[in-house]
Amino acid sequence: MIRPDAQLLLDIQDLHASVEDKPILKGVNLQVRAGEVHAVMGRNGSGKSTLSKVLAGHPAYRVTGGTVRYRGQDLFELEPEERARLGVFLGFQYPVEIPGVSNLEFLRVSTNARREKQGEEELDTFAFEDHVHDKLKVVQMDPAFLERSVNEGFSGGEKKRNEILQMALLEPVVAILDETDSGLDIDALRIVAGGVNQLATEDNATLLITHYQRLLDEITPDYVHVMAAGRILRTGGRELALELEQTGYDWVDQELAAQGVA
Amino acid sequence: MTSTSTRDLVSQPYKYGFVTEIETDKIAKGLSEEVVRLISAKKEEPDFLLQFRLKAFRHWLTLEEPDWAALGYPEIDYQDIVYYAAPKQKEKKASLDEVDPKLLETFDKLGIPLSEQKRLSNVAVDAVFDSVSIATTYKEKLAEHGVVFCSFSEAVKEHPELIERYLGTVVSSNDNYFAALNSAVFSDGSFVFIPKGVECPMELSTYFRINSGDTGQFERTLIVAEEGASVSYLEGCTAPMFDTNQLHAAVVELVALDDASIKYSTVQNWYAGDENGVGGIYNFVTKRGQCRGDRSRISWTQVETGSAITWKYPSCVLQGADSVGEFYSVALTNNCQQADTGTKMVHVGPRTRSTIVSKGISAGRSSNSYRGLVQMGPNAKGARNYSQCDSMLIGDQAAANTYPYIRSQQPQAAIEHEASTCRISEDQLFYLQSRGIGFEEAVSMMVSGFCRDVFNQLPMEFAAEADKLLALKLEGSVG
């Protein structure tokens, strides 16, 4: 939902970042306001996953230039955990397994860290069990997954549902979902997308990072951005995604060649 | 990595590192037959005990210090150690009021209140200060059940027949170098006797405190559970920070008769030396339990976090038919600590079963080795063993080794061994951080998840303690 007067949540200006001294992001500009759903599309290696990791604060990615303001605050001054507590959420493309750490306990500690920051009361084990059972419905998840270790032995689809469950618990202000659709069959995709749609409000925003149009059939974006060579090459409405579906990314190469980048 | 992660937190002070100023009765440094006789005389021991000591000492003289463990340390000068030191106080304490208040204060500071009002409910404590027992709580209450829980010295005076019957029957005085040394010069320790059919009504616990800088520590613990008896026993250990090393060579013997069960838990937090490996305790300990009776059970649970050097293999000799031995261990090494620890499960009787779960965590520049023996004797028909040895590496300068030894003389025995090594990855930490969990907490969550199988074996009130202790020991070790 586009409202020009809505609060600016994320303001990315001329962002540059490297991995192992290799420049990946080369001047990204993007503004995200409350209530909006953005889709960032592009081929492998275009820099879209790097953008999500940089925003969440992954230590392997080094910011080499530009600024990101999150609700007016310099994002890069904050540790990853601090960003999360303030409402920045990254849904991982490949959620890692953490053997021995109970999923339920992990979700509780995580939820309480966010609640504490928001001045809300900490939930004890019992209160949290009730709380989490409500949220399980959002992603139609079997409570048995709470008893297991974090993501351990989960199928691809179960891992993604667990990500959206975390999103439901943390109630983020800006949710960045990195290839949440990858590895999902159509039923799982609908459940995950349904969860994302339920959680979208006019006060938060979603940044979908995706390869394919099919996720956008389920979640309607307000803006579609096409990334290539570490920058946003073109921005449009949802029709841009449909156009990409039909024409592919060949035009991107031509455009880059014309600009003398590729 | 993240700015909060590294060095400023590494030097987390060891909070038990203080020294208590107290007058002690100390003999001169050095070890000889004369010293052995002097210790025995000071303790007014019966002749059988003096003979036990002398035999051990004479045998010790013929032995060489073992060097097979994956440990490196400068040679120990056995003549440069004081073999007897005791806090000066009235000979016999009728009540706690007569115990030097400084000693009570020391244990208060360590979180082990001994005074009547503040005692831990349902845990009886024997407090051992520089190898001398200074107080035992709840003795009378335990006596009502026929349970004997007292210092070793007291037991020698009051129950000499029990000591004579059981001492050295599990770990003989010539068992190994350090056991022989201990047998010659041991000062004090705890004695537990649970009579036939009695389930000990409370947790028993001994708290060992080293205070002197140049005194060797040689405790002796003996626990006997008669037919059908059961007991859960916990030991805790701390020491001040000195820049010299102190030798600690204890012996623990457990005897379980038919249907008896002994659960022995240790939370070892001796001073580990500083981040450069200066100072710390040399811990050379022989712990062995004998499941003498049919269907008896002995379970060792250890959480080893301290000491500069750890050489320790709590073992079970499964003699009785259908007897059960268990070993659950978490050994954490950081900085320059070295640990070579594990267990021996010796299956003698038919259908005996044993379980080994070992979790080694190495951080800093430390070295952590698991060494274990599973032996199936010719009569151990239908015996089973299951071993699981997992190592976790933190950082890129720590070492982990596993040395499993398996010997079987019985074709109808089953032995299973599983081992794994893992490392806390940057991606796992980032995942937890990106969910609002701080860096240190993320590390400690993963470590405690890794150790869960072992912590579940600890008595409830100590499991949480062990969790906290590990978190404290690891602060700042990742990054």
Q: Map out the domains of chain A with their CATH numbers.
A: 8-259 (3.40.50.300)
Task: State the pLDDT confidence band at A159, using cuts at 50, 70 and 90.
Answer: very high
Question: Is A100 close to B450, i.e. CB distance below 8 A?
Answer: yes
Q: What is the SS3 assignment for B195-229?
A: CCCCECCCEEEEEEECCCCCECECEEEEEEECCCC
Interface test with A, best of B392, B431, B447 (most A CBs within 10 A): B431
Cα–Cα distance for residue pair A224/A44, rounded to 1 Å: 17
* Half-sphere exposure for B244 (CA within 13 Å, toward CB): 12
Residue whose token pair is 């007067």: A5
Q: What is the mean pLDDT of chain A?
A: 93
Tell me the shortest Cα–Cα distance from B342 to chain A, in angstroms: 22
Cα–Cα distance for residue pair B392/A204, rounded to 1 Å: 40
Residue B213 CA from chain centroid, whole number: 20
pLDDT digits (tens, 9 = 90+) for A41-72: 998 889 999 999 999 999 999 999 999 999 99
List the structure tokens of A102. Answer: 């109970």
The letter for the amino acid at B456 is: N
* Selection from A36, A72, A74, A68 nearest residue A51 by Cα: A68
Contacting residues for B236 by C-beta, under 8 A, at least 6 apart: B112, B205, B206, B207, B208, B266, B267, B268, B269
Q: What is the pLDDT of residue B119?
A: 61
pLDDT digits (tens, 9 = 90+) for A176-188: 999 988 888 888 8
Cα–Cα distance for residue pair B152/B82, rounded to 1 Å: 20
* Half-sphere exposure for A193 (CA within 13 Å, toward CB): 23
Cα–Cα distance for residue pair B167/B66, rounded to 1 Å: 24
Tell me the shortest Cα–Cα distance from A92 to chain B, in angstroms: 8
Task: State the pLDDT confidence band at B10, using cuts at 50, 70 and 90.
Answer: very low
Cα–Cα distance for residue pair A151/B139, rounded to 1 Å: 50
Tell me the shortest Cα–Cα distance from B373 to chain A, in angstroms: 27
Residue B256 · residue B352 · CB < 8 Å: no
- Find the helix packing angle between B177-185 and B33-42, rounded to 10°: 50
Q: What is the pLDDT of residue B131?
A: 65
Cα–Cα distance for residue pair B8/B194, rounded to 1 Å: 49
Q: What is the pLDDT of residue B464?
A: 72
Question: Is B439 close to A101, i.e. CB distance below 8 A?
Answer: no
Q: Can you say whether residue A261 is alpha, beta or left, with left for phi > 0 and alpha for psi between -120 and 50 degrees?
A: alpha
**Does residue B55 register a pLDDT over 50?**
yes
Q: Please give the residue of chain B at the shortest CA–CA distance from A59.
A: B1
Q: Please give the residue of chain A at the shortest CA–CA distance from B430.
A: A58
* Selection from B154, B157, B146, B217 nearest residue B187 by Cα: B217
List the structure tokens of B446. Answer: 């993963």
Cα–Cα distance for residue pair B65/B62, rounded to 1 Å: 10
Cα–Cα distance for residue pair B148/A94, rounded to 1 Å: 59
Q: What is the pLDDT of residue B1?
A: 31
Question: Is A85 close to B446, i.e. CB distance below 8 A?
Answer: no
**Does residue B9 register a pLDDT over 60?**
no
Residue whose token pair is 């920051």: A117
**Does residue A262 register a pLDDT over 80?**
no
Q: Please give the residue of chain B at the shortest CA–CA distance from A58.
A: B430
Q: What is the pLDDT of residue B319?
A: 97
> Which residues on A lie below 8 Å from B433 (Cβ)?
57, 79-81, 84
List the structure tokens of B49. Answer: 């005990």
Tell me the shortest Cα–Cα distance from A248 to chain B, in angstroms: 33
Q: Mean pLDDT throughout A211-217?
A: 87
Tell me the shortest Cα–Cα distance from B60 to chain A, in angstroms: 45
Q: Please give the residue of chain A at the shortest CA–CA distance from B431.
A: A96
> Which residues on B lie below 8 Å from A149 (Cβ)?
449
pLDDT digits (tens, 9 = 90+) for B416-467: 999 988 888 889 999 999 999 998 889 888 888 888 888 888 877 677 777 7
List the structure tokens of A27. Answer: 């001047």
> Which residues on B lie below 8 Å from A109 (Cβ)?
437, 441, 445
**Does residue A249 register a pLDDT over 70?**
yes
Residue in A96, A100, A166 closest to B452 by CB: A100
Q: Which of A46-55, B208-217, B362-371 has the highest mean pLDDT?
A: A46-55
Residue B253 · residue B221 · CB < 8 Å: yes
pLDDT digits (tens, 9 = 90+) for B72-105: 888 889 999 889 887 776 454 556 666 677 777 7
Interface test with A, best of B6, B430, B435 (most A CBs within 10 A): B435
**Does residue B477 register a pLDDT over 90?**
no
Tell me the shortest Cα–Cα distance from B469 to chain A, in angstroms: 18
Q: Mean pLDDT throughout A96-115?
A: 94
Count other Cβ atoms within 10 Å, centred on residue B100. 18
Bridge-based pairing state of the strands B251-256 and B280-291: parallel
Tell me the shortest Cα–Cα distance from A217 to chain B, in angstroms: 28
> Which residues on A lie below 8 Å from B1 (Cβ)?
59
How many CB contacts within 8 angstroms connect chain A with chain B? Answer: 83
A84 versus A139: the higher-pLDDT residue is A84
Question: Is B432 close to A98, i.e. CB distance below 8 A?
Answer: yes
**Does residue A81 register a pLDDT over 80?**
yes
Q: What is the mean pLDDT of chain B?
A: 86
Q: Mean pLDDT throughout A148-171?
A: 94
pLDDT digits (tens, 9 = 90+) for B130-181: 767 777 778 888 999 999 999 899 999 999 999 999 999 999 998 999 999 9
Identify the H or E element spanning B429: helix B426-433
Residue in A57, A58, A109 closest to B437 by CB: A109
Question: Is A100 close to B449, i.e. CB distance below 8 A?
Answer: yes
Q: Please give the residue of chain A at the shortest CA–CA distance from B428.
A: A96
Task: State the pLDDT confidence band at B268, using cuts at 50, 70 and 90.
Answer: confident
Q: What is the pLDDT of residue B126?
A: 80
> Which residues on A lie below 8 Å from B437 (Cβ)?
81, 106, 109-110, 113
> Which residues on B lie below 8 Å from A20 (Cβ)?
none
Task: Tell me the torsion sign for CA atoms B268, B252, B302, B81.
Answer: positive
Residue B30 · residue B79 · CB < 8 Å: yes
3-state secondary structure of B52: helix
Question: Helix, strand, coil: what percent of chain B each, to 5?
Answer: 25, 35, 40
Task: State the pLDDT confidence band at B276, using cuts at 50, 70 and 90.
Answer: confident
Q: Please give the residue of chain B at the shortest CA–CA distance from A112.
A: B436
Residue B288 · residue B316 · CB < 8 Å: yes
Scored b (16 or more CB within 10 A) or e, B325-357 reads: bbbbbbbbbbbbbbbbbbbbbbbbbbbbbbbbb
pLDDT digits (tens, 9 = 90+) for A143-153: 999 999 999 99
Tell me the shortest Cα–Cα distance from A223 to chain B, in angstroms: 26
